[in-house]
Amino acid sequence: MLRFLVRRSLGALVILVIVSMVTYALFFAIPADPARLYCGKTCSPENLALIKHAMGFDQSTPVQYWHWLSGIFTGQIIDGKNCAAPCFGYSFAKQEMVGGILLDRFPTTLSLTIGSAIIFLIFGIGTGMLAAHKQGKAVDKIASSASLLASSMQIYVAGPLALWALVYSTDLMKQPAYVPFTEDPIGSITGMLVPWIVLSLIWTANYTRMTRSSMVEQLSEDYVRTARAKGMSGSSVFLRYAWRGAMGTIVTVFGIDLGVLLGGAIITETTFSLHGLGELAIHSFRDSDLSLLVGVTMVAATLIVAFNIVVDAAYALIDPRIRLA
């Protein structure tokens, strides 16, 4: 296991370096000139040169990339401002250090993602198992059709609807906002309730269907029949055998879905006016804000790579047939 973690972590580093290089390369492939964006209305060539120099755009792309990469380990001075290691650069559009911005925004996205993931895992898996247990009965049919309906919903439709119904027109719930748990434990939950509900509603549906189908599949496996032939009780067959088998599929899909959720933060955060990484991604693209764009991309890439390692490790714990090396 340790060897696996070390090997995969090294691999992840390589992937991250490649991701950052590609982001740099793609950014400079777009002909838009960010320096001119900041230059204002009466942009004299002198002003433009000044800005280009401050932003480092007067250097070649590889040199800029090298400054960025080495800055992570050694820190750097950008436009007269000291950026201590690990330095992720300076956002000229936001006039703040990228590291600070990311640190500020990350908890929002994390709360959004993890909070709704907990809800949809509990309800999705619960309902799915119930449906699998009561296969063919009313509960199963209701759960299946409800989840089909819910999973065909989209966040940009369901979100505004929920906001209208729960917040705007009735004032039943709070306008979505992230509050740190340490500042206000109750507020940190109530503030995120509407996005959590909407996100988990859609995802619960997926997990209900997935859990049901993999449980049904597992229940027809030979070894489940063996367990019953040994005299194992219904609940133990269901949980210790069938669920154990279904867990592998669910964990794998969940690993992928965490990435999807993270990517979906762009839409989710826009829908709910939340200030997380998704919103940053939009801003950084809109403002051609290279340092921020790279920063957001790297955080997202790091998370996705980390999720993958965790999922692979978890999968190996669940299924002893998978060897980690």
Partner 1 sequence: MSSRNMRLAAAILVAGALTVTTACSSGHSNSDSASASKSPVAATAISVGTAADSKGPAVAEPGAKKGGTVNMIDRDDFSHLDPAQVYMNYNSEVSLLFTRQLTGYKYSADGSSQKLVGDLATDTGTTTDGGKTWKFTLKDGVKWQDGTPITSGDVKYSIERTYASFIKSGPTYIQSWISGDKYRDAYPGPMGGQELGAIATPDDKTVVITFADVHPDANFTLAMTGYGIVPKAHDTKEEYDKKPFSSGPYQIVEHVTDKSLDLERNPNWDPATDPIRNAYPDKWHMEFGVQAQQSTERFMADNGPDKTAFSFHNQVHTTYIDQVKADEKLKPRTLQGLTPYVDYYYINNTRIKDQKVREALIRAFPHQQTRQLQGGTSYGDYATSYMSPTVLGYEANDLYDVLKKPEGDPEAAKKLLTEANAVGQTIVYAYNNTPVQQKVTEAIRDALEKAGFKFVPKPLDSKTYYDQTGLVNNEYDLYWGGWGADWPTGYTSIQPVWDGRTIADGASNYAHFNDPEINTAIDAAAKIADPIAQGKAWAAIDKQLQQKAASIPDVYQRSISLYGSGLGGVKFDSLFGLQFPLNIYVK
Partner 2 sequence: MTTQAKPEEASPAGSGGSAPFLSVRDLSVRFSTEDGVVRAVDNLSFDVAPGTTLGIVGESGSGKSVTNLAVLGLHNPERTEISGSIKLDGRELVGASNRELEQLRGKTMSMIFQDPLTALSPFHTIGKQIGETYRKHTGASKKEARDRAIEMLTKVGIPQPTTRVDDYPHQFSGGMRQRAMIAMSLVCDPKLVIADEPTTALDVTVQAQILDLLKDLQQEMGTAIILITHDLGVVARTAQNIMVMYAGRAIERGTVREVLKTPQHPYTWGLLSSMPSLTGDVNVPLTPVRGTPPSLINLPTGCPFNPRCDFREQVIGGGCTSERPALSPETGHAAACHLKAAQRQDIFIDQIKPRLG
Closer Cβ to partner 1, 42 or 60, answer by number? 42
Question: 75 contacts which partner out of partner 1, partner 2, none, CB within 5 to 8 A by kind?
Answer: none
Question: 133 contacts which partner out of partner 2, partner 1, none, CB within 5 to 8 A by kind?
Answer: none
Closer Cβ to partner 1, 175 or 220, answer by number? 175
Q: Residues 59-88: x/- map of binding to partner 1 (CB under 8 A)?
A: --------------------xxx-------
Q: Residues 235-264: x/- map of binding to partner 2 (CB under 8 A)?
A: -----xx--xx-------------------
Determine which residue in the list 136, 169, 182, 183 makes contact with partner 2, applying CB under 8 A. 136
Question: 225 contacts which partner out of partner 1, partner 2, none, CB within 5 to 8 A by kind?
Answer: partner 2
Backbone angles phi, psi at 96, to 5 degrees: -145, 160
- C-alpha closest to that of 64 among 35, 100, 101, 103: 35
Question: 226 contacts which partner out of partner 2, partner 1, none, CB within 5 to 8 A by kind?
Answer: partner 2
Contact at 8 Å (CB) between 145 and 136? no
Q: Is 2 exposed, middle or buried (0-12, 13-18, 19+ CB in 10 A)?
A: exposed
- C-alpha closest to that of 88 among 305, 292, 301, 300: 292
Determine which residue in the list 66, 164, 181, 223 makes contact with partner 1, applying CB under 8 A. 164
Contact at 8 Å (CB) between 280 and 105? yes
Determine which residue in the list 2, 138, 234, 325 makes contact with partner 2, applying CB under 8 A. 234
Residues numbered 85 to 104 that lie near partner 1 (CB under 8 A) are 93-96, 101
Work out whether 270 is an interface residue with partner 1 (CB under 8 A): yes
Question: 244 contacts which partner out of partner 2, partner 1, none, CB within 5 to 8 A by kind?
Answer: partner 2
- C-alpha closest to that of 103 among 311, 276, 302: 276
Strands 81-83 and 90-91, sheet pairing: unpaired
- The residue type found at 117 is A
Question: 230 contacts which partner out of partner 1, partner 2, none, CB within 5 to 8 A by kind?
Answer: partner 2
Work out whether 283 is an interface residue with partner 1 (CB under 8 A): yes
Backbone angles phi, psi at 198, to 5 degrees: -65, -50
The set of residues, in sequence order, having a beta carbon less than 8 Å from that of 231 and lying 6+ positions away, is none
Contact at 8 Å (CB) between 239 and 215? no
Number of residues that bind partner 1 (CB under 8 A): 48
SS3 category, 276: coil
The set of residues, in sequence order, having a beta carbon less than 8 Å from that of 105 and lying 6+ positions away, is 275, 276, 277, 279, 280
Question: Given the rule CB under 8 A, which of 233-241, 250-258, 286-294, 306-314 is the region that contacts partner 1?
Answer: 286-294
Report CA Rg, the chain.
24
What's the DSSP call for residue 83? Answer: E
Determine which residue in the list 61, 75, 287, 306 makes contact with partner 1, applying CB under 8 A. 287
The set of residues, in sequence order, having a beta carbon less than 8 Å from that of 173 and lying 6+ positions away, is 166, 167, 190, 193, 194
Distance (Å, whole) CA 284 – CA 292: 6
CB of 230 to partner 1, least distance (A): 58
Question: 321 contacts which partner out of partner 2, partner 1, none, CB within 5 to 8 A by kind?
Answer: partner 2
Interface residues with partner 1 (CB under 8 A) are 30-33, 36-44, 46-47, 50-51, 54, 79-81, 93-96, 101, 160, 163-164, 167-171, 175, 269-271, 273-275, 279, 282-283, 285-288
Interface residues with partner 2 (CB under 8 A) are 136, 221-223, 225-234, 240-241, 244-245, 318-321
